[in-house]
């Protein structure tokens, strides 16, 4: 089996060389072997190839590049375990960084002796450092460099805000409701809501307005109906539906509700990740002037810190890399400046160098992540127990669909799942 695996990996490596965009010598070893997840034929692939070639020319080095696209993680794990030469490799999320942690080089000293803190969003570096803490390395350690961020926010149609007379984005939950009232008065359904995103949207509100720790405790031991803040939050969702804040057919089957932002213009806002603007425009063919704002807070409960569920694609240096200095030069080059902007702009995404100007639709999103101080667990703790996740999601969808008459009734439904 080991011989077969080694042969298979060797064949994969040979095939990959034909789709690499880096130059390699016909004789001798390349200076770096880099694996990527860029998909051949995509704009980001073309931009990455161009930037890697510029790096080679400017440094006078040869890089062997293998692009595996969506198959990367499947092939990468086996190759790392087989000690194949891979000097730099990406992980698609901080969760994947956990799984490959033992293969990654501690780059803390490199980072502290560089200007990366002036370029990377602090919350992303903190999220990467948290992985080191969870792996027993203590605080202030880093095993990756962020290259593509992911976080949740509210996305809205600026034209609709302008027509409704809304001049500022909301910060507090009361301000958010005032925005919704103005949109309703102007003839809009303020919030798009699809069943696929409804549970996580409600979960983020749980994390912001009830507290992630409290939600986690109730998922484990029950007590939703005894938690006044949770009951109030459920009642708020019921009231929002009664006031016409949600798209009338929501929660709809994905992506019917969010697509109305592009298809009819009658729905204005949606809670989702950075991919949302491109997703809606690709499915509807619409061109929208997008804006974004952070999830609203209750100032009587929180101190005003900005939080969302945050993750990022990262580049890692293999712990067995023979030239970590060159590898560090490469990963920082790809994470900053012209290279990072070219690649992220090509995929219509937020640039991860906060010193670079983002695409117009991400101007407000850059401000959100630059000021973010808290990483909220995905779904605000509602998904802490995978065994009841499906049932919890059903109750959350029913809540936002108007099934329950009161907040107390909805909270009791959550308790019934946990018991």
Q: What is the pLDDT of residue 73?
A: 83
Please, which pLDDT band fits residue 375 given cuts at 50, 70 and 90? confident
Contacts of 144 (CB under 8 A, 6+ apart): 91, 97, 104, 107, 128, 131, 314, 315, 316
15 pLDDT above the threshold of 50: no
In the chain, where does the domain assigned CATH 3.40.190.10 lie?
2-151+310-375, 153-307+376-418
Q: What is the distance between the alpha carbons of residues 73 and 64, in angstroms, rounded to a whole number?
A: 18
CATH architecture of 153-307+376-418: 3-Layer(aba) Sandwich (3.40)
Residue 125 has pLDDT above 70, yes or no: yes
* Full 3-state SS string of 106-130: CCHHHHHCCCHHHCCCHHHHHHHHH
Question: Binning pLDDT at 50, 70 and 90, where does residue 132 land?
Answer: very high
The model scores a pTM over 0.75: yes
Cβ count near 304 (within 10 Å): 9
The 10s digit of each residue's pLDDT in 271-294 is: 999 999 999 999 999 999 999 999
Residue 5 has pLDDT above 80, yes or no: no
CB 29 within 8 A of CB 62: no
When pLDDT is cut at 50, 70 and 90, the band that residue 141 belongs to is very high
Give residue 21's pLDDT: 53
**Does residue 358 contact residue 351 with C-beta atoms inside 8 Å?**
yes
Three-state DSSP at 88 gives strand
Q: What architecture (CATH level 2) is domain 2-151+310-375?
A: 3-Layer(aba) Sandwich (3.40)
């Amino acid at each position: 089996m080991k011989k077969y695996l080694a042969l298979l990996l060797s064949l994969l490596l040979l095939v990959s060389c034909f789709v690499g965009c880096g130059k390699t010598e016909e004789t001798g070893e390349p200076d770096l072997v880099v694996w990527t997840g860029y998909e051949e034929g995509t704009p980001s692939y073309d931009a990455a190839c161009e930037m890697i070639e510029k790096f080679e020319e400017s440094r006078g080095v040869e890089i062997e590049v293998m692009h595996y696209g969506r198959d990367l993680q499947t092939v990468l794990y086996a190759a790392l375990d087989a000690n194949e030469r891979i000097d730099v490799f990406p992980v698609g999320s901080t969760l994947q960084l956990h799984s490959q942690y033992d293969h990654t080089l501690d780059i803390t000293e490199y980072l502290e002796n560089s200007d990366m803190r002036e370029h990377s969003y602090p919350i992303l570096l903190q999220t990467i450092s948290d992985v080191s803490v969870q792996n027993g390395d203590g605080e202030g350690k880093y095993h990756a460099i962020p290259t593509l961020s992911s976080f949740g926010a509210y996305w809205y149609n600026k034209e609709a805000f302008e027509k409704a007379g809304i001049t500022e984005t909301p910060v507090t939950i009361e301000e958010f409701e005032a925005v919704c009232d103005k949109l309703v008065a102007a003839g809009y359904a303020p919030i798009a809501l699809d069943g696929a995103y409804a549970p996580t949207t409600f979960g983020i509100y749980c994390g912001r307005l009830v507290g992630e720790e409290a939600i986690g405790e109730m998922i484990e031991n029950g007590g939703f109906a005894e938690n006044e803040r949770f009951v109030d939050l459920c009642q708020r969702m019921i009231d929002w539906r009664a006031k016409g804040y949600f798209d009338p057919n929501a929660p709809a089957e994905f992506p019917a509700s969010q697509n109305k932002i592009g298809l009819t213009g009658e729905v204005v806002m949606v809670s989702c990740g950075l991919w949302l603007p491109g997703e809606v425009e690709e499915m509807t063919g619409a061109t929208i002037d997008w804006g974004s704002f952070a999830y609203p807070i209750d100032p009587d409960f929180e101190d005003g810190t900005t939080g969302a569920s945050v993750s990022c694609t990262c580049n890692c240096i293999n712990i067995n890399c023979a030239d970590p200095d060159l590898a560090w030069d490469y990963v920082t080059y790809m994470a900053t400046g012209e290279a990072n902007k070219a690649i992220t702009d090509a995929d219509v995404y937020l640039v991860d160098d906060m010193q670079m100007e983002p695409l117009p639709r991400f101007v407000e999103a850059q401000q959100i992540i630059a000021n973010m101080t808290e990483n909220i667990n995905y779904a605000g703790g509602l998904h802490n127990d995978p065994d009841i996740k499906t049932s919890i999601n059903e109750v959350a969808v029913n809540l936002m669909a108007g099934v329950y008459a009161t907040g107390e009734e909805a909270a009791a439904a959550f308790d019934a799942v946990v018991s």
